[in-house]
Amino acid sequence: MALDTECIRADFPTLRRHVSDRPLVYLDSAATSLKPLAVLDAERDFYENRNSAVHRGAHTLAAEATELFESARDHIARFIGAEPNEVVWVPGATGALNLLAYSFSNASAGMGGDEAHRFRLGPGDEIVVTEQEHHANLIPWQELAGRTGASLRYIPVDDDGRLQMDEATALIGERVKVLAFTHVSNVLGSVTPVAELVALARAVGALVVLDACQSAPHLPLDVKALDVDFAVLSGHKMLGPLGIGVLYGRADLLNAMPPFLTGGSMITSVTMESAEFLPSPARFEAGTQPVAQAISLAAAAHYLDGLGMARVHERDAELGQMLVRGLTEIPGIRVLGPAAGEDRVGLASFAVDGVHPHDVGQFLDDLGIAVRVGHHCAQPLHRRLGLPASTRASTYVYTTDDEVQAFIDGVSEVRGYFRV
């Protein structure tokens, strides 16, 4: 059965808004998704009835909070095909990627003992990313290379934004220690050939880091089946709250990594001279935890499970094709990424000849249509495609066909309005 979009929309109070005296058309879900009542209620219920720090204290509220907190971890683990001790709560995907980079840096400085040897980098070692990465999956690796003396290299894209896999084969050699890439491009909407890249990394013993921020909300995600070593995702892009994300890591790797943040809740014993650390996930969760956010993120995963991620993906792909077909038919529009008929999620970035993306966004906002404008934290990719910025429309489970058509109609009026 197809998703019942109208029924779903009743769960999202933001969609009752009007902007510029018009019903809101929200096409900025790739930046942050709207939140259903189930997620809002889960967070509110915690604060109203069970507010307490977790893993501390023997009183009833503390016990209830801890049970809900760890149950949330169990649910997210099932949602991505992992084990609970392989799920680390982080402030967001950016925090997760920085955690990895700084942990590898600590290992490279000699911390972690013999177990951390495989994370150590130095001159002669290489880190490989792609030219389509979000800055969050680029800058931490730039910094790691700078701290350790390793080299950072990247897999280029062609004029249409496709990864040049022949270049990937040539780049990923014996010196590569880390291969980090996005599952779905936040600019192009394209799905990366994960299996091919993982095979190249496995052949040389490199660690694989997957940015799943744009795939976890839209595709069935199984990190074990994908055979990646680490994966990161953002809660707020998959109907969850702001301020929380997930780092997945193979248990043997997480337990061998030196911690990044240190303090309370992540130790077994402390003297005035030294400390010993708990196994994963606690060793990476120092301090007060985002309990309400974890619980409401689990509510978001439960909501998506109820819809069925296979059906979410089917609907998402359908909306993506509607976006591309409609935009392609408008004169003076350049759509970035896969053409109509090729695999993509419900996301389309585009450029309007003679009109700055910010003007496009303002024009659409006057019609009540919310889109994203700018370089989408992917300046190198835009530079490669010969653009300073683009306009991006992105859909989700609450998007209707009529909303996509209203967007297409609005874009078709842009060049005439600006007399281009």
Q: Which residue, chain included where needed, has tokens 């910094």?
A: 143
d(CA 354, CA 343): 29
How many residues would you count in the chain?
Answer: 420
Predicted confidence at residue 145, as pLDDT, reads: 98
For a pLDDT cut of 70, what percent of the chain falls above it?
A: 100
Q: Could you read off the pLDDT of 270-289 as tens digits, one per residue?
A: 999 999 999 999 999 999 99
| Kind and range of the H or E run holding 185 | none
Domain range 5-30+309-417, CATH class: alpha beta
In 291-419, DSSP assigns E strands to: 333-335, 347-352, 369-370, 372-374, 390-394
Predicted confidence at residue 56, as pLDDT, reads: 77
Let me know if 272 is exposed, middle or buried by CB neighbors in 10 A (0-12, 13-18, 19+): exposed
Q: Could you read off the pLDDT of 291-332 as tens digits, one per residue?
A: 999 999 999 999 999 999 999 999 999 999 999 999 999 999
The 8 Å CB, 24+ separation contacts for 399-402 are 399/5, 399/26, 399/27, 399/29, 399/319, 399/346, 400/5, 400/6, 400/9, 401/322
Residues in Cβ contact with 220 at an 8 Å cutoff, skipping those fewer than 6 apart: 309, 310, 313
Let me know if 20 is exposed, middle or buried by CB neighbors in 10 A (0-12, 13-18, 19+): exposed
Which one-letter amino acid corresponds to residue 346?
G
Cα–Cα separations (whole angstroms), residue 50 to 42, 54, 75, 291: 11, 10, 19, 10
- Nearest to 348, CA basis, from 277, 407, 274: 407
The CATH number assigned to the domain with range 43-305 reads 3.40.640.10
d(CA 239, CA 237): 6
Provide the 8-state DSSP code for 282.
G
Residues assigned a catalytic role: 377
Predicted confidence at residue 146, as pLDDT, reads: 98
d(CA 411, CA 405): 10
Predicted confidence at residue 257, as pLDDT, reads: 97
Q: Please give the radius of gyration of the chain, using alpha carbons only, rounded to the nearest integer.
A: 22
Predicted confidence at residue 92, as pLDDT, reads: 97
Predicted confidence at residue 100, as pLDDT, reads: 98
Q: Where do the structural domains in the chain lie, given as residue ranges? A: 5-30+309-417, 43-305
Let me know if 217 is exposed, middle or buried by CB neighbors in 10 A (0-12, 13-18, 19+): buried
For a pLDDT cut of 90, what percent of the chain falls above it?
A: 97
Predicted confidence at residue 183, as pLDDT, reads: 98
Q: Are strands 230-234 and 245-249 parallel, antiparallel or unpaired?
A: antiparallel
* Residue 346 near residue 317, CB atoms below 8 Å: yes
Predicted confidence at residue 58, as pLDDT, reads: 84
Q: Are strands 230-234 and 333-335 parallel, antiparallel or unpaired?
A: unpaired
Question: Which pair of structure tokens corresponds to residue 366?
Answer: 């006057």
d(CA 353, CA 334): 8
Q: Could you read off the pLDDT of 394-418 as tens digits, one per residue?
A: 999 999 999 999 999 999 999 999 9
Specify the 3-state DSSP secondary structure of 180.
strand
Which one-letter amino acid corresponds to residue 154?
Y
Residue ranges of the chain with pLDDT lower than 70?
none
d(CA 329, CA 326): 5
- Nearest to 189, CA basis, from 46, 57, 339, 334: 339
d(CA 160, CA 341): 15
Predicted confidence at residue 2, as pLDDT, reads: 84
